[in-house]
Structure 1
Amino acid sequence: MKIKIISRSGRIPAYETGGAAGFDIRALLEHDFVLPAGGRALVPTGLYFEIPEGFEAQVRARSGLAIRHGIGLVNGVGTVDSDYRGEICVPLINWGDRDFVIHDGDRIAQVVISRVEQVEFEEVEVLSDTRRGGGGFGHTGV
Structure 2
Amino acid sequence: MELSKLLEDTMKTRGFEIVSTYMNDGITLPERQTKNAAGYDFFAREDFVLKSIWRYDFIRLFRLIKNEHPLTQEDFTRANKTLKPLLVPTGVKAYMQDNEVLILANRSSNPLKRGLVVPNGIGVIDADYYDNPSNEGEIFIQMVNWGPKDVVIQKGERIGQGIFMPYLLADGDHASGERQAGFGSTGRA
Q: In which range does the TM-score fall when normalised by the shorter chain?
A: 0.7 to 0.9
Q: Determine whether 1:5 maps to 2:18.
A: yes
1:9 to partner: Cα distance: 2.4
The alignment partner of 2:110 has SS state of: helix
Q: Which residue of structure 2 lines up, in the alignment, with residue 73 of structure 1?
A: 118
Q: For structure 2, list consecutive stretches of 5 or more residues without a partner in the other structure.
A: 1-13, 54-82, 131-136, 174-189
Q: 2:109 aligns with which of 64, 76, 99?
A: 64
1:43 to partner: Cα distance: 1.1
Q: 1:102 aligns with which of 153, 157, 168?
A: 153
Quote the Cα distance in structure 1 between the aligned partners of 2:159 and 2:140: 10
The one-letter code of the counterpart of 1:34 is: V
Q: Determine whether 1:34 maps to 2:49.
A: yes
Quote the Cα distance in structure 2 between the aligned partners of 1:55 and 1:11: 23
Q: For structure 1, list consecutive stretches of 5 or more residues without a partner in the other structure.
A: 123-142
Quote the Cα distance in structure 1 between the aligned partners of 2:159 and 2:120: 15
Q: TM-score of the superposition, structure 2-length normalised? A: 0.59
1:10 to partner: Cα distance: 4.0
The alignment partner of 1:117 has SS state of: coil
Q: Determine whether 1:88 maps to 2:139.
A: yes
Give 4+ residue runs of structure 1 displaced > 2 Å after superposition: 6-12
Quote the Cα distance in structure 2 between the aligned partners of 1:17 and 1:49: 20
Q: Which residue of structure 2 lines up, in the alignment, with residue 14 of structure 1?
A: 31
In the comparison of the two structures, how many residue pairs are matched?
120
Q: TM-score of the superposition, structure 1-length normalised? A: 0.77
More helix by share: 2
More strand by share: 1
1:87 to partner: Cα distance: 0.6
